[in-house]
Amino acid sequence: MTGAEGFIGSHLTEALVKKGAVVTAMVKNNFQQHLGWIEEFEPGVRKRLKICFSDLNDYNAVEDAVGDNDIIFHLGAEISVPYSYVNPRTFVHTNIMGTLNVLMASKEHGVKKIIHMSTSEVYGTPDTVPIREDHQLKGQSPYSATKIGAEKLAESFFASYDLPVVVVRAFNTYGPRQSARAIIPTLITQALFRDEIFMGNDKPTRDFNFVSDTVNGLIKIAENDKLAGQVINLGSGNEISMGGLLSKILRLTRSKAAVKKDRKRLRPGKSEVMRLLADGSKMKRLTGWKPETSLDEGLKKTVAWINNNPRHFKIGEYQI
């Protein structure tokens, strides 16, 4: 699995190990040999992992990590939309060339299935909602453009080499371990620990999914042998505005903080994606999956986790 040390990847890694899978966790190489969220695993789970320090931009390292694994979950990526405005070249290298390396190594080793994690950001502001998988793709940020490019590479490898790739367009996932680069932990940390809450545009809507539901969806896709070449939405079919989300968080945290608009948190006008709402009927039809955690329940769990783990956050700093 690429991105095994990250937010969604670490939850997926834990779930797979607990189901009895033999998991190779590809972790981005770093001078401290730090394992990211894998450091937080129970010892019994962690010692059952094969850790492979690597880099998506190094083909030989990726090939070593792919090895003789039957299934590849490709979650490794540069993910922050705001940071993609600052350093788009990094996103091209990691998201496009890194994906090319994963696909080539999987082809070389005869991998039986590749689950490629994409994002609802590839749709841009939609023409129709709920959004079906055949909606046109719009590169409204460097991040979304590189994820579109990665998807098209996966599509081409299925068509050209019959490589069994499934593209999963996950709508906004949240929950414990998510960094403050994302909207929900950004708002929760400020509501819990500050007297002021700074936010950007409160009008856009998103389809939020608790991390355990996203993980369960990915596992169901991996367990189905008839999905090669498919593109599948992973979303709840419910939406909420950023303003509505903030209201829920203020209520859950009992915060009296003053809310202030912060221009540096705004996306460029033509880049803002105003609405994301999944049509999840294909996923339900093919796998039977549906989310089990309501937004209120998931936010409650996330607030509790952040309240107990403030050390993981730079409270008050705008992180991209």
- The pLDDT score that the predictor gives to residue 218 is 98
Round to whole Å and give the CA distance between 223 and 309.
Answer: 34
pLDDT tens-place string over residues 149-202: 999 999 999 999 999 999 999 999 999 999 999 999 999 999 999 999 999 999
Q: What confidence category does residue 30 fall into, taking pLDDT thresholds of 50, 70 and 90?
A: confident
Q: Is residue 84 part of a domain?
A: yes
Question: What are 73's two structure tokens?
Answer: 């979950």
Q: Is residue 32 part of a domain?
A: yes
Sequential DSSP letters for 215-246: HHHHHHHHH-TT-TT-EEEE--S--EEHHHHH
CA dihedral 196, 197, 202, 204 (to 10 degrees): 180
Q: State if pTM tops 0.85.
A: yes
Number of domains the chain is built from:
1
Q: Is residue 65 part of a domain?
A: yes
- The pLDDT score that the predictor gives to residue 31 is 83
Does the structure show a pLDDT above 90 at 33? no
Q: Is residue 257 part of a domain?
A: no
**Beta carbons within 10 angstroms of residue 253's beta carbon:** 20
- The pLDDT score that the predictor gives to residue 134 is 98
CATH number of the domain bearing residue 146: 3.40.50.720
Q: Is residue 104 part of a domain?
A: yes
Round to whole Å and give the CA distance between 253 and 15.
Answer: 29
CA nearest 287: which of 230, 238, 223? Answer: 223
User: In the chain, how long is the greatest CA-to-CA distance?
Assistant: 57
Q: Is residue 299 part of a domain?
A: no
Considering the chain, what is the average pLDDT of its residues?
96
Beta strands in 18-112 (DSSP E): 24-28, 50-54, 71-74
Q: Is residue 108 part of a domain?
A: yes
Q: Which amino acid is at 39?
A: E
C-alpha angle 7/68/8, rounded to 5°? 10
Q: Is residue 266 part of a domain?
A: no
Question: What are 76's two structure tokens?
Answer: 């490794």
Region 63-81: mean pLDDT is 96
Region 115-137: mean pLDDT is 98
- The pLDDT score that the predictor gives to residue 61 is 95
Q: What confidence category does residue 320 fall into, taking pLDDT thresholds of 50, 70 and 90?
A: confident
Q: Which residue range(s) make up the domain with 104?
A: 7-179+208-239+277-293
pLDDT tens-place string over residues 236-276: 999 999 999 999 999 999 999 999 999 999 999 999 999 99
Round to whole Å and give the CA distance between 138 and 161.
Answer: 26
Does the structure show a pLDDT above 90 at 11? yes
**Residue 44, CA distances (Å) to 17, 19, 176, 205, 266 in order:** 10, 13, 20, 40, 43
DSSP code at position 217: H
DSSP code at position 72: E
